[in-house]
Chains A and B, each alone.
Chain A
Amino acid sequence: MQEFLQYFFSGITNGAIYGVIALGFSMLYRATDLINFSHGEFVMIGALSMLTLTMTFRMPVIWALLITVFGVALLGLLFERLAIRTVRRPEPIVLIIITVGASIFLRGAAMLIWGKDSHTMPPFTAHAPLDILGARLLFQSIWIVLIALLVAACLHFFYKRTLTGKAMRAVAINKQAAWLVGIPSKVMVLLAFGLSTGIGAVAGTIIAPITMPAYDMGAMLGLKGFCAAMLGGLGSLWGSLLGGFLLGILEAMGVGFVSSGLKDATAFLLLLLVLYLRPGGIISASIVKRF
């Protein structure tokens, strides 16, 4: 029981991170039909910016978090404006290759700014690990799960209750029809980029204290987030979050009960199985209403 609980804690911490990253993928995919392969790099930039703001500029955590998220969202807007919209013939394959190029560029830039070494920062709040039935839970893990849920809830509210959110959904469902009723679809796409990268930055800021951020952390996180999004259902809000938690917990259980050498294999094998049985993911966006 104690072991099981420990695996579970490990799983939900990683799972919440994967979930938030998956949210970013899903959001953008819904609005633009585009997979942003540089999403992981935005997570990395979020983590490293958070670190610089709190460690070098001694900012309080909450301010550092907000500034980082808005800063990275701005970077996302810039990315859309400069690299995506300027493409003359925006075919999906061209755009995807542009995002791959952007990820290499961002990684290189981060290496020049922050160097090649890993960095470290203290947790948001200083607490001893909690002891629950003999299993230890880091306080930062609670922050991570809470913030992940908060982000998902805010997005839900945004899509269901605000005019901008509804407009974005309209663009997602049919771009031309939305344009006909007067929704500026280009602005919505721009906004989707900002939101998506901003959410990526949230993931970066919350994991900065428990991992050792470095310029090359983005690729693996991006890949795991993408898998989580596929697992849950690309394009579905709660599906992405669920996919993240599921992937995290499967990984931890795989390590605990199978073998740590097969950690990634266990998780990805199950991913393949799920996709074989339900190609659209667990909560498929085409069955359930999108967002």
Chain B
Amino acid sequence: MPQKRKCRIIAMVTAIVTTACLLCISTVSAESEKEPIKIGGVFSVTGPASFLGDPERKSMELAVDMINEAGGIDGRMLQAVIYDSEGDPSRAVRNVQRLITRDNVTAIVGPSLTPTSLAVIPVVERAQIPLVSCAAGNRITDPIKPWVFKTAQSDIHAVASIYGHMQENGLKKAAIIIQSDSFGESGRDQLVEQAGDFGIEIVAQENFGIRDTDTTAQLTNIRRADPDAIICWGTNPGPAVVARNVEQLGIDVPLYNSHGVASPRFIELAGDSAEGIMLPTGRILVADLLPDDDPQKEVLQNYIAAYEDRFGETASSFGGYAFDGINLLAEAMKGTDGDKQQIRDNLAQIQGHVGISGEFNFSETDHNGLAPDAFVMVRITDGDWELIE
């Protein structure tokens, strides 16, 4: 009796396993015809840089869904695999290794920050996988690495926009006040390097800490140097403190800021002191103010509408970096059937791609593809942005 029972159980198990295997095989063969193309994403979704990573992750999902709704790439759907680097370089490297070895992605978008991007470059170069970084640092694409591209505007362009505006208005002596972090340092390098090209002399250099509550001592030194204009380089809330202190001390020279504070939050923080401050920004901030013949206007308005409709929050230029990254990859993937070498070659030849950050013209010698006109200069007037011609 027990013998018989045993036999029956074995028979049943065999039957179940066989059917399960058959089912598996049948689903796999059905799927393989249009297996999705996997794209990896590595963003600082949480941690101190979450203001970058969070909109980037959302924008990547948005871009992938938009492409899939439009029929995917040559009939194949895109699939996003996104990991959180928490802004930590070593975690970013682990994320990228996992994307390459476990998830078998075809290309990667991100990371969000310059340090995390620089950390993962050796990994993608070795694995020969196209990477489109969302960070701003120049060093990511200078010198050129064959497999690495980036979509964010560089400090080079922001500094050129400010100096260009100063030159037009006959302002020759600049005092710079810099936030003590990698964003500030990178800005200072560019400010110092490009000053000569525009005939500008830097008469004072000061620093402030990220959480400083008072910068009047630094500004007193700047006032003594008697500049024609002050350039402040940092991210919220520091520059708002600087703006308030400039007003408090009654220093009556134009105040420029970097694109690091190009958000409505800055106007809110600086209050009345923000009046008259000028800064370079991507066009997304002033999309509605752009003339109708601006090629970016429609792209921007579509993105803003889709983003705000889906996530119920204001779209920022940061999300645009990832949105551009996916769309550039999608364009490069057409007709390649997921061949990485071909995708890379196509990416390096993309011309006139109108994105959120600007018009991309890639080449073998330019993996950022943007020109200084990716920035427009705006002035804060009556608590709102005003486009400077």
* Binary contact track B212-255/A, C-beta < 8 Å → 1, others 0: 01101110110010000000000011001100000011100000
Assuming the A-B contacts A3-B220, A212-B237, A260-B218, are A116 and B208 also in contact, with contact meaning beta carbons closer than 8 angstroms in the complex? Answer: no
Q: Are B217 and A210 in contact (CB under 8 A)?
A: no
Assuming the A-B contacts A13-B214, A120-B271, are A136 and B237 also in contact, with contact meaning beta carbons closer than 8 angstroms in the complex? Answer: no
Select which of A7, A14, A120, A252 is within 8 A of B268 by beta carbon.
A120
Q: Are B248 and A260 in contact (CB under 8 A)?
A: no
Which residues from 96 to 147 on chain A have a C-beta closer than 8 Å to any C-beta of chain B? 116-120, 129, 136, 138
A212 to B266, CA, bound (A): 11
Q: Are B265 and A117 in contact (CB under 8 A)?
A: yes
Total of A-B residue pairs, C-beta within 8 Å = 80
Which residues from 240 to 288 on chain A have a C-beta closer than 8 Å to any C-beta of chain B? 252, 255-256, 259-261, 263-264
Which residues from 45 to 82 on chain B have a C-beta closer than 8 Å to any C-beta of chain A? 48, 50-51
Residues of chain A lying within 8 A (CB to CB) of residue B240? 118, 120, 212
Which residues from 280 to 294 on chain B have a C-beta closer than 8 Å to any C-beta of chain A? none
Residues of chain B lying within 8 A (CB to CB) of residue A17? 213
Assuming the A-B contacts A7-B220, A212-B269, A256-B217, are A264 and B248 also in contact, with contact meaning beta carbons closer than 8 angstroms in the complex? Answer: no
Residues of chain A lying within 8 A (CB to CB) of residue B237? 118, 211-212, 214
Residues of chain B lying within 8 A (CB to CB) of residue A255? 206, 217-218, 221
How many residues of B are in contact with the other chain, CB < 8 A? Answer: 28
Q: Are B236 and A118 in contact (CB under 8 A)?
A: yes
Judged by a CB distance under 8 angstroms, whether A9 is at the interface is yes
Residues of chain B lying within 8 A (CB to CB) of residue A83? none
A255 to B217, CA, bound (A): 6
How many residues of A are in contact with the other chain, CB < 8 A? Answer: 34
Q: Are A9 and B213 in contact (CB under 8 A)?
A: no
* Binary contact track A212-228/B, C-beta < 8 Å → 1, others 0: 10101100110000000
Judged by a CB distance under 8 angstroms, whether B180 is at the interface is yes
Select which of A6, A129, A214, A260 is within 8 A of B206 by beta carbon.
A260
* Binary contact track B177-202/A, C-beta < 8 Å → 1, others 0: 00010000000000000000000000
* Binary contact track A28-55/B, C-beta < 8 Å → 1, others 0: 0000000000000000000000000000
Residues of chain A lying within 8 A (CB to CB) of residue B248? 129, 136, 138
Judged by a CB distance under 8 angstroms, whether A207 is at the interface is yes
Least CB distance from B326 to A in Å reads 25
Select which of B209, B218, B220 is within 8 A of A264 by beta carbon.
B209
Which residues from 67 to 119 on chain B have a C-beta closer than 8 Å to any C-beta of chain A? none
The residue in B213, B217, B221, B268 that gathers the most chain A C-beta atoms within 10 A of its C-beta is: B217
A217 to B50, CA, bound (A): 17
Residues of chain B lying within 8 A (CB to CB) of residue A212? 236-237, 240-241, 269
Apart from A118-B269, A256-B217, list 8 A-B contacts with CB within 8 A.
Answer: A3-B221, A6-B216, A6-B249, A7-B220, A120-B268, A136-B248, A211-B241, A212-B269
